[in-house]
Amino acid sequence: MGFLAPFLRKLLKSYTGRIMALFPFGLFAVLSYLFFLLPDETAHLVDTGLKLLPEISLSFRFDGLSLIFGLMVSGIGGLVLGYSSFYMAHYSGRSKFYFFLVLFMGSMLGLVFADNLIAFFIFWELTSITSFFLIGFEHENEKTRQAALQALLLTAFGGLCLLFAVIMIGNMAGTYSLTNIYQQGFRFGAHSNYYLVFVLIFVAVATKSAQFPFHFWLPGAMHAPTPVSAYLHSATMVNAGIFLLLRLNPIMGGTIIWKTIFVITGGITMFIGAFYSMGQKDLKRILAFTTISALGTMVLLIGMNSTASIQAALIFFIVHGLYKGGLFMMTGIIDKNTGTRDIARLAGLLKKMPVTSIAAILSLLSMSGIPPMLGFIGKELIYDAKIQMPELSWLVIPLGVASNMIMVAISLLIFYEIFLQPKGKQTVALKQPEKTLPGNFLAGPVTLALVGLTLGLFPGWLENIMSNALYFIQGEIVDVHLSLWHGFNKVLILSIFTVAMGIVIFLFRKPIGSLVQVIIRWTDQYYLPERFNQLIKNYLHLAGRQTNRIQHGYHRYYLITFFTITFALVMYQLATLKGDWIPIYETSPIKWHVVMVLTFSMLAVLFAVFTRSRISAIIALGVLGYGISILYMFYGAVDLAITQFLVETVIMVIFVMVIYHLPLFATLSSTKTRIRDGLIAIGVGVMVAFLLLKARFINLEPPISDYFAQNSLLKGHGRNIVNVILVDFRALDTLGEITVLALAAAGVFTLLRLDINRKDKH
Amino acid sequence: MEFIIAIFIGLLYACGVYLLLRRSIVKLILGVLILSNATNLIIFLSGGIQRNEISFIPEGSEVANPEVILDPLPQALILTAIVIGLGIAAYILALKYKYFEKTGTHDLDQLSKTDQK
């Protein structure tokens, strides 16, 4: 789909977003159809028959859990696409934007519905990569690039952990298919690998879902265009980690470490997020920190691992997706229409932008958990779940109540500062009246707010799918009853207390706000994004230094390394070989005339090495070549002798022709290095000699040579076997050889004709 | 005899390696040439030199006697290698010539950048 976006955009011009939005809506409709059809304890498995790899089939799993997530992803996705068609109207590179947005949507849906764990991982990584491009959309801005890179590095690191974990789970379970794993009732809480897998999964979840201490990439990701933030931080990207936890809950949930780690991490994240949000002035940053807080809440609930808490987590996911998506879009609208997102500068919008404001206020109500919104039900369930866990309630209830109080206060603050007209604040001028804004721009927040309201009034609609989801998460049949009014009980008292305290915080917002500012300033010394960048920078620096040391660029040191290591390895191997140290084998008789020739050549080579005269060196080299040629001759290799003789002559001629233009030899290295090189060289020489002696000149009576000897005349019609091999049996090799020569000739020719400085002359 | 040739090859290798480790490019080229000669000799030696009749099929006979003739296959390989060695030598020398003309140095350590003037 995403690949079509650029073409579609050319075709549809400014309507792209709206038309494209039809696809997720269509998907949404199909999914809703499934949603109502789905019986209580079944999951539909759709096997596309495609295989990503032999073991990895691309099959999709439709159950309560994936449907809840899928509906949110496609529904909000459609709204966001429609929304961006106006928001992005004046950005350049819109094709790219739609391309990545739709691609991201597709991978998110794939992630949610994937049945195969490896496929799940692939989609997980795809969301990381596409979100990198989305966050970094305004890449001209350096901060944006940094934020995007940070998000990518962290989530990709988590992705790697996930891959390891997934492979280990797959190995232990014997299958990568979630459906099969569920059917086997596979659990490995007692397995010795459990802790390793747990840590890997924890890192994956914490990086993706911005849990403490990896939470810091999320506020940075606010550099993305607002539609992207609305999408990524409401129902998709960051919730992938939550989804993973829910998916794995039946396999590895419920252990002590699961409960402690996730409850503690979730709790800390929840509180930090809420706390930091109070000190922010930018609407988007406020929302970012409340998102962190909400993610913490979900992780905490899943960590508690009771049926009630999982139920609460699911409901809260829906609640959060609805209100956060709405609020982000609202921010975008306000930003577009007034030119600022600073709550200190915005005021009196209720009168000027009534539709947006009412939608936003409904979302804010949901966020602070006030009836009749779905948020209220969500919060009630959360409190209920926490109360039901006596061994943890001492910790989680105060943390939860504190965070919720802050949520209430934040909601009130946004409401008061932006929509009402506090004294002494200037109203901001609108760029265009709300009425003239296109419908699809406003549709997003309004729809989401209305859905939140409707579901709050009729929560029964969710019961069916919830119990299906819970069946697959907890492995037991649960009757889910959702209602607004639970009667007057502890939970309600807590809620009332929360709201009251929230109002108190709001009233004392000035002193509390400045206190928070002080604390934030203090903690900014440990500003994690900066620290992270520093870490990466140091790492790169280290890598650079290491590379410089190993890849120093001096070819002779490479050679020295190469030679000494080869020497050591070969000598070690030779020493451990059995047999005589100086091997004795049947030698052919010594031919004294050859020995004389060799001695002469040896002296010539040594002379060539040490002489200072270029011409002498070349002549000495020629002596060596002719000596070898004579050796060939005496041993019956006539063709070799002739060729060697000719080639040696040609090389000498070329050398002499070139040598005139070459410098004199100069002593470039010190005596010390010369001795060192000499030792290495002698070592290599000794090694080669030993190797040859040890090899015993094994002539394995090669049948190939015999074949040539037998058939040279019969099949090749030649009496000189060597020649027949070259031009007949191995003719293709010879053709290659001729090609090499031709290329060398062409190379030499061009080199000599080439005038590098020609450009300078003009 | 193999013993002596092996020592000879060892010596050629020692000289070749020593020249390879020099900073002067001309010496490096000499080293390469010596090494290629030495390697050819290794192939030659590994074919065995006990039987050293010319590998021809004598007149009047249809097949050669493999008990007598020098193994023809290594010879064919070396022949190819020698010729290619010629190509390499010619090319390196031309390259070296041009290089020296442009840079005026033959010290490898001066050759750190590709875009030297």
Per-residue pLDDT, A278: 80
Per-residue pLDDT, A506: 81
Cβ distance A621 to B34 less than 8 Å, yes or no, reads yes
| B22-74 per-position pLDDT tens digit | 878 888 888 889 999 999 988 888 777 777 677 777 777 777 776 777 778 88
Q: Which residues contact A46 (CB under 8 A, 6 or more apart)?
A: A59, A60, A61, A62
Q: Which residues contact A215 (CB under 8 A, 6 or more apart)?
A: A269, A272, A273, A292, A528
Determine the Cα–Cα distance for residues A372 and A455; give it in Å rounded to an integer. Answer: 9
Cβ atoms of A450 and A358 within 8 Å: the answer is no
Read off the pLDDT of each residue in A7-18 and give the average, rounded to a whole number: 51
**Disruptive mutation site among B9, B50, B57, B63 for chain A (greatest number of A CBs within 10 Å):** B57
3-state secondary structure of A49: strand
**Quick one: CA dihedral A617, A618, A620, A624, positive or negative?**
positive
3-state secondary structure of B56: strand
Contacts of A743 in chain B (CB under 8 A): 87
Determine the residue of chain A that is closest to B101 in CA distance.
A661
Using pLDDT thresholds of 50, 70 and 90, give the confidence band for residue A21.
low
Cβ distance A722 to B76 less than 8 Å, yes or no, reads yes
**Disruptive mutation site among A581, A606, A645, A688 for chain B (greatest number of B CBs within 10 Å):** A688
The closest of A360, A347, A351 to A434, measured between CA atoms, is A351
Determine the Cα–Cα distance for residues A608 and A611; give it in Å rounded to an integer. Answer: 6
ipTM value? 0.89
Pick the range with the lowest mean pLDDT from A171-180, A597-606, A647-656, B51-60. Answer: B51-60
Determine the Cα–Cα distance for residues B9 and B46; give it in Å rounded to an integer. Answer: 12
Pick the range with the lowest mean pLDDT from A478-482, A511-515, A555-559. Answer: A478-482
Position A501: which residue type?
A: M
Is the pLDDT at A440 greater than 80? The verdict is no
A633 in B contact zone (CB under 8 Å): no
Per-residue pLDDT, A487: 66
Cβ atoms of A115 and A60 within 8 Å: the answer is yes
Determine the residue of chain B that is closest to A712 in CA distance.
B63
Kindly state the percentage of chain A with pLDDT values over 70: 84
To the nearest whole Å, the CA of B23 is away from the closest chain A CA by: 7
A551 in B contact zone (CB under 8 Å): no
Phi-psi region of A250 (alpha: psi -120 to 50; beta: other; left: phi over 0): alpha
A563 in B contact zone (CB under 8 Å): yes
Determine the residue of chain A that is closest to B56 in CA distance.
A720
Top-level CATH class of B2-53+65-108?
Answer: mainly alpha
A678 in B contact zone (CB under 8 Å): yes
Determine the residue of chain A that is closest to B58 in CA distance.
A719
B39 in A contact zone (CB under 8 Å): no
Cβ distance B49 to A588 less than 8 Å, yes or no, reads yes
To the nearest whole Å, the CA of A99 is away from the closest chain B CA by: 41
Read off the pLDDT of each residue in A687-705 and give the average, rounded to a whole number: 69
Cβ atoms of A598 and B12 within 8 Å: the answer is no
| A711-742 per-position pLDDT tens digit | 777 777 778 888 888 888 888 888 988 999 99
What are the distances in angstroms from CA A221 to CA A98, A146, A232, A318?
18, 9, 9, 22
- CA angle at A172 for the pair A166 and A176, rounded to the nearest 5°: 50
Per-residue pLDDT, B48: 73
Helices A16-37 and A5-12: crossing angle in degrees, nearest 10, is 120
To the nearest whole Å, the CA of B60 is away from the closest chain A CA by: 10
Pick the range with the lowest mean pLDDT from A3-7, A421-425, A592-596. Answer: A3-7
B93 in A contact zone (CB under 8 Å): yes
A580 in B contact zone (CB under 8 Å): no
Which of B33, B72, B86 lies closest to A621 in CB terms? B33
A623 in B contact zone (CB under 8 Å): no
Determine the Cα–Cα distance for residues A175 and A168; give it in Å rounded to an integer. Answer: 10
Contacts of B90 in chain A (CB under 8 A): 650-651, 654, 744-745, 748
A569 in B contact zone (CB under 8 Å): no
Pick the range with the lowest mean pLDDT from A354-368, A438-452, B74-88. Answer: A438-452
Cβ distance A669 to B23 less than 8 Å, yes or no, reads yes
A89 in B contact zone (CB under 8 Å): no
Determine the Cα–Cα distance for residues A518 and A707; give it in Å rounded to an integer. Answer: 92
Determine the Cα–Cα distance for residues A121 and A160; give it in Å rounded to an integer. Answer: 9
Determine the Cα–Cα distance for residues A610 and A606; give it in Å rounded to an integer. Answer: 6
Kindly state the percentage of chain A with pLDDT values over 90: 2
Which of B13, B16, B93 lies closest to A658 in CB terms? B93
Using pLDDT thresholds of 50, 70 and 90, give the confidence band for residue A50.
low
Determine the residue of chain A that is closest to B85 in CA distance.
A647
Determine the residue of chain B that is closest to A723 in CA distance.
B76
Determine the Cα–Cα distance for residues A285 and A331; give it in Å rounded to an integer. Answer: 11
Per-residue pLDDT, A5: 46
Q: Which residues contact A572 (CB under 8 A, 6 or more apart)?
A: none
Cβ distance A595 to B15 less than 8 Å, yes or no, reads no
B84 in A contact zone (CB under 8 Å): yes
Per-residue pLDDT, A583: 54
Contacts of B108 in chain A (CB under 8 A): 554-556
Which of B40, B66, B86 lies closest to A709 in CB terms? B66
Stretch (H or E) spanning A45: strand A44-53
Which of B30, B46, B79 lies closest to A643 in CB terms? B79
Determine the Cα–Cα distance for residues A47 and A229; give it in Å rounded to an integer. Answer: 33
Per-residue pLDDT, A645: 92
What are the distances in angstroms from CA B104 to CA A375, B107, B113, B115?
80, 9, 14, 14
Is the pLDDT at A522 greater than 60? The verdict is yes
A62 forms beta bridges with A44
Per-residue pLDDT, B112: 55
Q: With helix as H, strand as E and coil as C, how does A432-458 read?
A: CCHHHCCHHHHHHHHHHHHHHHHHHHC
| A59-105 per-position pLDDT tens digit | 777 777 888 888 888 888 888 887 887 777 777 777 778 888 888 88
Which of A587, A705, A722 lies closest to B2 in CB terms? A587
Cβ distance B75 to A722 less than 8 Å, yes or no, reads yes
Which of A553, A617, A678 lies closest to B112 in CB terms? A553
A694 in B contact zone (CB under 8 Å): no
A46 in B contact zone (CB under 8 Å): no
Stretch (H or E) spanning A193: none
Determine the Cα–Cα distance for residues A513 and A278; give it in Å rounded to an integer. Answer: 6
Using pLDDT thresholds of 50, 70 and 90, give the confidence band for residue A54.
low
Task: Output the DSSP codes for A323-357.
Answer: HHHHHHHHHHHHHHHHS--BTTT---HHHHSHHHH
Position A609: which residue type?
A: V
In A209-240, which positions are buried (b, 16+ CB within 10 angstroms) versus exposed (e)?
bbbbebbbbbbbbbbbbbbbbbbbbbbbbbbb
B68 in A contact zone (CB under 8 Å): no
| A608-657 per-position pLDDT tens digit | 888 878 888 888 889 999 999 998 888 888 888 999 999 999 988 888 88
Cβ atoms of A631 and B42 within 8 Å: the answer is no
Cβ atoms of A681 and B15 within 8 Å: the answer is yes
Per-residue pLDDT, A1: 43
The closest of A73, A162, A63 to A109, measured between CA atoms, is A73
Using pLDDT thresholds of 50, 70 and 90, give the confidence band for residue A6.
very low
A60 forms beta bridges with A46, A114
Kindly state the percentage of chain B with pLDDT values over 90: 10
The closest of A465, A66, A62, A31 to A243, measured between CA atoms, is A66
Per-residue pLDDT, A4: 46
Cβ distance B15 to A617 less than 8 Å, yes or no, reads no
A553 in B contact zone (CB under 8 Å): yes
Contacts of A631 in chain B (CB under 8 A): 5, 41
Per-residue pLDDT, A497: 84
Contacts of B38 in chain A (CB under 8 A): 688
B31-35: Cβ within 8 A, 24+ apart: B32/B88, B32/B89, B32/B92, B33/A621, B33/A651, B33/B85, B33/B89, B34/A605, B34/A608, B34/A621, B34/A624
Using pLDDT thresholds of 50, 70 and 90, give the confidence band for residue A49.
low
Per-residue pLDDT, A702: 58
Determine the residue of chain B that is closest to A705 in CA distance.
B73
Per-residue pLDDT, B3: 81
Per-residue pLDDT, A162: 92
Determine the Cα–Cα distance for residues A500 and A495; give it in Å rounded to an integer. Answer: 9
Cβ atoms of A217 and A147 within 8 Å: the answer is yes
Contacts of A639 in chain B (CB under 8 A): 75, 79
Determine the Cα–Cα distance for residues A265 and A282; give it in Å rounded to an integer. Answer: 26
Read off the pLDDT of each residue in A733-757 and give the average, rounded to a whole number: 83
Cβ atoms of A371 and A456 within 8 Å: the answer is yes
Position A312: which residue type?
A: A
Per-residue pLDDT, A161: 92
Cβ distance A602 to B11 less than 8 Å, yes or no, reads yes
What is the pLDDT of chain A when averaged over all its residues? 79
Which of A609, A678, A712 lies closest to B57 in CB terms? A712
Per-residue pLDDT, A163: 92
Determine the residue of chain A that is closest to B57 in CA distance.
A719
What are the distances in angstroms from CA A293 to CA A9, A201, A276, A299?
37, 20, 9, 10
Using pLDDT thresholds of 50, 70 and 90, give the confidence band for residue A55.
low
Please count the residues of chain A: 762
| A666-682 per-position pLDDT tens digit | 666 778 888 888 888 88
Cβ atoms of A366 and A322 within 8 Å: the answer is yes
Determine the Cα–Cα distance for residues A442 and A329; give it in Å rounded to an integer. Answer: 8
Which of A587, A678, A699 lies closest to B1 in CB terms? A587
Position A507: which residue type?
A: L
| DSSP code for B51 | -
C-beta atoms surrounding A568 within 10 Å? 12
A-to-B residue pairs, Cβ atoms closer than 8 angstroms: 282
